[in-house]
């Protein structure tokens, strides 16, 4: 009797072809999935940026601070003395889910969790804990380590940290080119060694990298959650993407100072 079928060699060839195709296509599928998540992430950041613009309109054209030190009214947490910026912005979005990226989330416990009010973050808590994917620019005049400003460090800063130093809309020279938020593992970044550009050019630095999704990152592969990229909300409320490690000092300042800084490691 003649029986039709595949030989062992033919089956092995088919299996080998499937394996090769899988090896080629899986990374493509993974990149496509990441791009889809990035689209959702940018949408989150646009919504948060719009909420911040609405906050500014309600508070005399002043950006929300990184936080608010009025913690005396924190229910059940008398030791909590601070409200984080998401708690200040939440009333303008009414959606706690947008404060967490679909790609990653970081437990906000780098410096402890007892000092800020969880009760006011309740719509954003996950199993009673606060996670963050977006980080505010709180650079101050003391933030600079490698960067030298031609007119001195004291004249260059971002949105600072203290509520008493909250920045007005008129004080931002170029809102479309000033970082307000980035993807990050903490609620705010206010020191140069925690940035992506510093850690890119200091591969032996042991300090945490706040920008991106990996506190040990020194390369775009390590720190960029979206195919080596991070998403940014700018001070005018729009959002875009940037390669991890490509930000520069002048991106973090409210002053229009693109040509006012020098750095031994980073070119203009």
CA–CA distance, 238 with 138 (Å, rounded to integer): 18
pLDDT category of residue 159 using cuts at 50, 70 and 90: very high
CA–CA distance, 127 with 129 (Å, rounded to integer): 6
Query: How many structural domains does the chain have?
Result: 1
Exposure string over 183-194, b if 16+ CB within 10 A, otherwise e:
bbbbbbbbbbbb
Which pLDDT score, from 0 to 100, does residue 101 have? 96
Which pLDDT score, from 0 to 100, does residue 3 have? 62
Q: E strand or H helix at 162, and its extent?
A: none
pLDDT tens-digit map of 92-151: 999 999 999 999 999 988 888 888 999 999 999 999 899 999 999 999 999 999 888 988
Q: Please tell me the number of Cα atoms within 13 Å of 149 on its side-chain side.
A: 20
Q: E strand or H helix at 149, and its extent?
A: strand 148-149
Which pLDDT score, from 0 to 100, does residue 261 have? 78
Asked if the structure places residue 148 within a domain, the reply is yes
CB 74 within 8 A of CB 120: yes
Asked if the structure places residue 8 within a domain, the reply is no
Domain that holds residue 186: 42-262
Q: Both tokens of residue 25?
A: 């296509």
CA–CA distance, 100 with 152 (Å, rounded to integer): 37
CA–CA distance, 187 with 134 (Å, rounded to integer): 7
- Would you state the torsion angle of the CA atoms of residues 113, 119, 125, 126, taken in this order, to the nearest 10 degrees? 80
CB 66 within 8 A of CB 138: yes
Asked if the structure places residue 18 within a domain, the reply is no
- What value does the mean pLDDT of the chain take? 89
DSSP state of 91: G
pLDDT category of residue 58 using cuts at 50, 70 and 90: very high
Cα 153 to its chain centre, rounded Å, is 24
Q: Which of 80-89, 239-248, 252-261 has the lowest mean pLDDT?
A: 252-261
Q: What share of the chain is helix, strand, coil (3-state, %, to 5)?
A: 35, 15, 45
Asked if the structure places residue 199 within a domain, the reply is yes
Asked if the structure places residue 158 within a domain, the reply is yes
pLDDT category of residue 263 using cuts at 50, 70 and 90: low
Which pLDDT score, from 0 to 100, does residue 266 have? 58
Asked if the structure places residue 21 within a domain, the reply is no
Q: Which of 19-28, 75-84, 143-152, 253-262 has the lowest mean pLDDT?
A: 19-28
Which pLDDT score, from 0 to 100, does residue 20 have? 85
pLDDT tens-digit map of 202-244: 989 888 999 999 999 999 999 999 999 999 999 999 999 999 9
Q: Which of 87, 64, 83, 65 is nearest to 74 (CA)?
A: 83
Which pLDDT score, from 0 to 100, does residue 28 have? 64
Q: Which of 18-32, 64-78, 81-95 has the lowest mean pLDDT?
A: 18-32
> Is the confidence at residue 268, as pLDDT, over 50?
no
Indicate the pTM of the whole model.
0.86
Asked if the structure places residue 12 within a domain, the reply is no
Most confident of 26-30, 42-46, 143-147: 42-46
Asked if the structure places residue 200 within a domain, the reply is yes
CA–CA distance, 49 with 89 (Å, rounded to integer): 9
């Amino acid at each position: 009797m003649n029986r039709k079928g595949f030989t062992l060699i033919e089956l092995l060839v088919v299996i080998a072809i499937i394996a090769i195709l899988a090896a080629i296509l899986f990374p493509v599928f993974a990149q496509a999935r990441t791009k889809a998540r990035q689209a959702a992430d940018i949408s989150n950041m646009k919504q948060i940026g719009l909420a911040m613009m609405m906050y500014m309109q309600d508070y005399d054209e002043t950006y929300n601070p990184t936080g608010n030190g009025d913690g005396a009214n924190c229910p059940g947490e008398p030791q909590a003395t601070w409200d984080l910026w998401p708690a200040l912005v939440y009333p303008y979005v009414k959606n706690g889910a947008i404060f967490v990226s679909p790609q990653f989330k970081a437990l906000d416990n780098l410096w402890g969790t007892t000092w800020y009010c969880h009760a006011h973050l309740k719509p954003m808590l996950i199993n009673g804990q606060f996670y963050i994917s977006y980080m505010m620019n709180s650079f101050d005049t003391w933030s600079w380590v490698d960067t030298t400003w031609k007119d001195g460090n004291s004249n260059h800063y971002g949105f600072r940290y203290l509520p008493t130093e909250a920045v007005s809309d008129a004080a931002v020279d170029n809102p479309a080119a000033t970082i307000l938020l980035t993807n990050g593992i903490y609620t705010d970044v206010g020191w140069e060694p925690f940035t992506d550009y510093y850690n890119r050019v200091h591969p032996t630095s042991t300090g945490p990298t706040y920008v991106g999704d990996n506190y040990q990152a020194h390369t775009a592969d390590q720190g960029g959650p979206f195919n080596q990229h991070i998403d940014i909300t700018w001070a005018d409320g729009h959002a875009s993407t940037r390669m991890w490690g490509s930000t520069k000092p002048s991106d973090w300042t409210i002053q229009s100072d693109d040509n006012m800084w020098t750095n031994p490691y980073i070119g203009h």
